Amino acid sequence: MPLPLAPIAAIALRYGTVAVATYALARSVERGRRDQRAEDALDDAPEGMTARRDAEQVNATARMRRVIRFGDSGPGIEIDAVSLTRIRFRKV
């Protein structure tokens, strides 16, 4: 019994197009740089959520740090998610 190649070719063409588009997008994105001052600010953020309001702006931080283990004594990964937010209101 012959193998129908038309459905397989259509799926391969679709995934190939997505792969080429993803590769082109990845090549066009400029490589970012690491700012040590920003890294230090993220490391100094306390766990949980905080907010501060001044006359002109509102600042907020959120941090969640969790360790996930695979099994009782198995390998684990640490997830450290930090967000710094500033919302500024100015009359123009």
How many CA atoms within 13 Å lie on the side-chain side of 59? 6
List 68's β-bridge partners, or say none: 77
- For the chain, give every domain's residue range: 5-88
User: For 11-46, what is each residue's pLDDT tens digit?
Assistant: 999 999 999 999 999 999 988 889 999 999 999 999
pLDDT of residue 87: 87
Specify the amino acid at residue 7.
Answer: P
* Among 82, 42, 80, residue whose Cα is nearest residue 62: 82
User: For 33-86, what is each residue's pLDDT tens digit?
Assistant: 899 999 999 999 999 999 999 888 899 999 999 999 988 888 999 999 999 888
pLDDT band at 1 (very low <50, low <70, confident <90, very high): low
Spatial CB neighbours of 78, under 8 Å, sequence gap ≥ 6: 65, 66, 67, 68
- Exposed, middle or buried, 59 (CB in 10 Å: 0-12/13-18/19+)? middle
